[in-house]
Amino acid sequence: MSTEEDLPQHIAIIMDGNGRWAKSRGKPRHTGHRAGVKATRAIVEAAAERGVRALTLFAFSSENWSRPEEEVSSLMSLFFEVLQREVEILDKNNIRVRFVGAREQLSDRLQKKLAAAEAQTAGNDGMELALAVAYGGRWDIVNAVRQLSERVAAGELRSEDINDELFADSLSLAGMPPLDLLIRTGGEQRISNFLLWDMAYSELYFTPTLWPDFGAPQLDEALEFYAGRQRRFGRTGEQVDAPA
Ligand code: IPE
Ligand code: IPE
Ligand code: MG
């Protein structure tokens, strides 16, 4: 029987495999990205239905700027189009949206759309959805260091008062529940500079399923995997099993 504890509160997903999905059908890569959007919509809905409190999706990494210009610009247009179309639905579903990443690297028009989506959904208290665009785990950490060191330089903070908690409060996902489960589709077993700090104690789930083929049944398989893990956080299995 599943208990509330068996459900991850916060899931992050590296949505990988759109290009290969398209290639296997003899289609251009952008067809795969469009199919990926459909999968994204279904997973957001399924996660919210299952009672997940927070979902973080890796849509575009700091390294993805190195892709051919044509692919980068078609992805940026796709983000804009999706925001235009989907924010209303997210809002109706009581989902709160946050964007994480180096947003100043995005076009002005996309930055405005992102800010508008955040503002429109700010009052919602359902699932929190973090979309990582132009995001890198190293960028996030460096950014936090910069913010904290500025506060130290301004005399607002003493360096000896910096601890795990304060550091986490300076990262992009500040205020979100701890990251319980990381899913990567597309078969690679690597992190590709995603949430380096946040995944210190996440359970890791890798599946060969390509992102456009990942739907609610595949999410349920990942949730089942998660429910079967014993999270020890450094303790022994006996300690974890002992009645409180
Ligand atoms: C993930 O799919 C989407 C982005 C990185 C934007 P890919 O585009 O990396 O797909 P593959 O890995 O080439 O199949
Ligand atoms: C990771 O996928 C980034 C996103 C899914 C947005 P990549 O396809 O860019 O990762 P690598 O290059 O295979 O490590
Ligand atoms: Mg890839």
Domain holding 189, by residue range, is 7-136+178-231
Q: What is the pLDDT of residue 243?
A: 85
Q: What is the pLDDT of residue 191?
A: 98
- C-alpha closest to that of 149 among 167, 135, 174: 167
The active-site residue, picked from 16, 91, 180, 198, is 16
197 and 137 in contact (C-beta within 8 Å)?
Answer: yes
- Confirm whether 145 is domain-assigned: no
Q: What is the mean pLDDT of residues 150-159?
A: 98
- Confirm whether 169 is domain-assigned: no
- Confirm whether 155 is domain-assigned: no
Please tell me the distance between residue 140's alpha carbon and the centre of ligand 1 in angstroms: 21
Q: Going along 66-198, which residue ranges are E strands?
A: 96-100, 128-135, 181-184
- Confirm whether 170 is domain-assigned: no
Q: Known catalytic residue: 16? A: yes
Residue 159 has pLDDT above 70, yes or no: yes
Residue whose CB lies within 8 A of the most ligand 1 atoms, among 15, 18, 214, for a mutation test: 18
Please tell me the distance between residue 127's alpha carbon and the centre of ligand 2 in angstroms: 25
Residue 4 has pLDDT above 80, yes or no: no
Summarize pLDDT for 30-83 with one digit per residue, the tens. 999 999 999 999 999 999 999 999 999 999 999 999 999 999 999 999 999 999
- Confirm whether 150 is domain-assigned: no
Q: Which atom belonging to ligand 2 lies closest to the Cα atom of 132?
A: 6
Is there an atom of ligand 1 within 6 Å of 136 CB?
no
Is there an atom of ligand 1 within 6 Å of 64 CB?
yes
- Amino acid 120 reads Q
- Confirm whether 167 is domain-assigned: no
Residue 36, Cβ density class (10 Å: 0-12 exposed, 13-18 middle, ≥19 buried): buried
- Confirm whether 76 is domain-assigned: yes
The H or E element containing residue 140 is helix 137-153
Q: Known catalytic residue: 124? A: no
Could you say which ligand is closest to the alpha carbon of residue 72? 1
Write the residue with the smallest CA distance to atom 10 of ligand 2.
192
Kindly report which listed range (4-13, 34-43, 71-80, 222-231) carries the lowest average pLDDT score. 4-13
User: For the chain, what is the domain count?
Assistant: 1
Q: What is the pLDDT of residue 1?
A: 42
Q: What is the pLDDT of residue 232?
A: 97
- Give percent above pLDDT 70 in the chain: 98
- Supply the CATH number for residue 65's domain: 3.40.1180.10
Residue 204, SS3 per DSSP? strand
- Confirm whether 149 is domain-assigned: no
Residue 2 has pLDDT above 70, yes or no: no
